[in-house]
Amino acid sequence: MERPLARAIFWSAAATLAWTQVGYGLSLAALRRLRGNPPIAPGGVVGTPSVSLIIAAHAEQDVIAAKVANALALDWPRDRLEVVVAVDGGADPGADATAERARAAGADLVLELSRGGKVRAQDAAVAIAHGELLAFSDANATWEAGALRALVAPFADPGVGYVCGQVRFVNAQGTNQEGLYWRYEMWLRAGESALASVTAGNGAIYALRRASYMHVDAVMGHDLSFPFNVVKRGRRAVYAPDARATEKMVPSIEAEGARKRRMMSHAWAIVLRGGMLSPRGYPPLYALMIFSHRVLRYASPLLHLAVAGATLALLRTGRAYR
């Protein structure tokens, strides 16, 4: 590799990494300080709208009863809350037990489905749900008592179509396992929400207006697909940090590695085939957020390889980085 080319690759990749890892967050903080939080427009959901809380479950026979009990204990009128459990069964030997335990725990509707994946189970549940708002949770997530009320509150603004809460990760003993990276991500999410819309959510605690729900490819989960698509449809996707849930960490390094690989493969599918790269429908600031926080973040491994390759090429000339 010629020295000028190697130098250009090195500095371009290094600068891009610095932007997505540090510069982007600093820019959000500066903009938020200048602009403040957007006002809440009147005319949205008020009072206690009917909510369907949808739980997709596969091999969750050990936790589903506790999850339904947690849902029924939320600070929300019982006659305004519908708990829907969609059992994604197929070859799962625990599917029957999951369905039976969900019914026994008090779920309003229980679907027993053939194996189609989480997204298809959620689609089936939405088709039979009756709530004005659709809330979603994982079977292994525990919501705080006030989480649903905090999750619904932003819908008072008619311009809001999607709300995600805050998920905290704990170990088997209940000790908080959030690292610096996760706290930084939540800080970025709060900044994005205050200025425009979040670029991603999570699967443990989120809600949509019924009109904002959409069907996505089975490999493209809601947590990354919904926020940008809601924005493309003219509404905001926001973060409600007071809507809190906890999830237990994956117990082994191997399982966590498999989970991360699965998430990354889904992320690239959404970026390349799910419409994220198309700027149509994005306000300018949100387009910059998507590019900086999602596209460049997912491209970071390639950028690191570019820095390493260019560094080796420059070292062979005897004088790197100059």
Please determine, for residue 253, whether its predicted confidence score (pLDDT) is greater than 60: no
pLDDT of residue 74: 98
Instruction: Give the confidence band of 82 by pLDDT, cuts at 50, 70, 90.
Output: very high
Of the pLDDT bands very low, low, confident and very high (cuts 50, 70, 90), residue 44 is low
* Spatial strand order in the sheet of 81-88: 109-113, 81-88, 51-57, 133-138, 206-209, 160-170, 236-248, 141-143
CA distance 237 to 239: 7
Burial per residue of 59-98, b for 16 or more beta-carbon CB atoms within 10 angstroms, e otherwise: bbbebbbebbebbbebebeeeebbbbbbbbbeebebbebb
Name the more confident of 310 and 37.
310
Q: Are 248 and 172 in contact (CB under 8 A)?
A: yes
Res 260: pLDDT: 64
CATH assignment of 51-280, given 3.90.78.10, 3.90.550.10, 3.40.50.300, 3.40.50.12640? 3.90.550.10
pLDDT at 168: 92
- pLDDT tens-digit map of 254-299: 655 566 666 777 788 888 888 999 999 999 999 999 999 999 999 9
Residue 222 has pLDDT above 60, yes or no: yes
* The predicted structure's pLDDT at residue 318: 66
* Mean pLDDT of the residues in the chain: 91
% of the chain residues with pLDDT over 90: 74
pLDDT of residue 269: 84
What span, in angstroms and rounded, lies between the C-alpha atoms of 273 and 276? 8
Do 133 and 49 form a contact (C-beta atoms < 8 A)? yes
In this prediction, residue 259 carries a pLDDT of 61
pLDDT digits (tens, 9 = 90+) for 127-170: 999 999 999 999 999 999 999 999 999 999 999 999 999 999 88
- Which carries the bigger pLDDT value, residue 68 or residue 258? 68
- Residue 250 predicted with pLDDT over 70: no
Question: What is the percentage of the chain residues whose pLDDT exceeds 70?
Answer: 88
Q: What is the pTM (predicted TM-score) of this model? A: 0.91
What's the pLDDT tens digit per position in 192-220? 999 999 999 999 999 999 999 999 998 88
Residues spanned by CATH 3.90.550.10 within the chain? 51-280
User: Residue 219 has what pLDDT?
Assistant: 84
Question: What's the pLDDT score for residue 273?
Answer: 86
pLDDT of residue 43: 64
pLDDT at 19: 98
